[in-house]
């Protein structure tokens, strides 16, 4: 059974394998710094700092990151932003998640968001904004299956695709 855990060196090999899978270009682009520098320890520390609001980049808010794992295999990542700034309110939302390419279409997306909503509740959040690109029908189904109520579609801007915005009440 899959579970959300804090990022750890224990999952380094599996995480790096996921980033290198065919179809993981977005993951690779986001995490190539740790591949190039082989600096996984620092990467894990940065994630811990961000959850405390420490060493945040300009325009970023505190966020807690969890990894979905099953039998010590990295399946996906979920981040919960503790608050929303203007950009996150428009297009980013409270929760972002992704599933490694080889595990997509197996129900892990629905599971990671469900577990993430429980974590968000533990963090004291009551109403969660979750967004997805209009071109991502799989994510739309995941959000709706977890109780997402469609609010609107907003223009992505700067050449980005439009975004669908959903609210989930987790009181």
pLDDT tens-place string over residues 61-86: 999 999 999 999 999 999 999 999 99
The number of angstroms, rounded, from the C-alpha of 43 to the middle of its chain's C-alpha atoms is 16
For CA atoms 65, 105, 144, 115, the dihedral sign is negative
What residues of the chain score a pLDDT lower than 70?
36-38, 157
DSSP state of 162: P
* Alpha helices (H) along the chain: 12-19, 25-37, 40-51, 86-87, 108-122, 137-145
Tokens found for residue 72: 């010590």
**Sheet of 149-154, strands arranged across:** 3-5, 63-70, 73-81, 95-99, 127-133, 163-169, 149-154
Provide the greatest CA pair distance for the chain: 42
Predicted local distance difference test score (pLDDT) of residue 37: 60
DSSP state of 9: G
Q: Is 124 left (phi over 0), alpha (psi -120 to 50) or beta?
A: left
Domains and CATH numbers, the chain: 3-123 (3.40.630)
Predicted local distance difference test score (pLDDT) of residue 148: 98
Claim: this prediction has a pTM higher than 0.85? yes
């Amino acid at each position: 059974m899959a579970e959300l855990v804090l990022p750890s060196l224990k999952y380094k090999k599996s995480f790096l394998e996921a980033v290198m899978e065919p179809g993981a270009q977005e993951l690779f682009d986001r995490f190539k710094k740790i591949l190039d520098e082989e600096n996984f320890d620092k990467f894990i520390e940065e994630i811990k700092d961000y959850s405390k609001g420490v060493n945040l980049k300009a325009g970023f808010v505190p966020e807690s990151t969890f990894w979905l794992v099953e039998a010590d295999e990295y399946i996906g990542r979920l981040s919960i932003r503790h608050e929303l700034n203007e950009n996150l309110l428009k297009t980013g939302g409270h929760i972002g998640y992704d599933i490694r390419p080889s595990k997509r279409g197996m129900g892990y997306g629905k599971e990671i968001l469900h577990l993430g909503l429980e974590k968000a509740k533990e963090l004291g959040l009551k109403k969660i904004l979750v967004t997805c690109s209009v071109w991502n029908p799989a994510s739309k189904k995941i959000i709706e299956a977890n109780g997402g109520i469609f609010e609107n579609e907003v223009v992505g801007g700067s050449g980005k695709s439009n975004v669908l915005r959903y609210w989930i009440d987790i009181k």
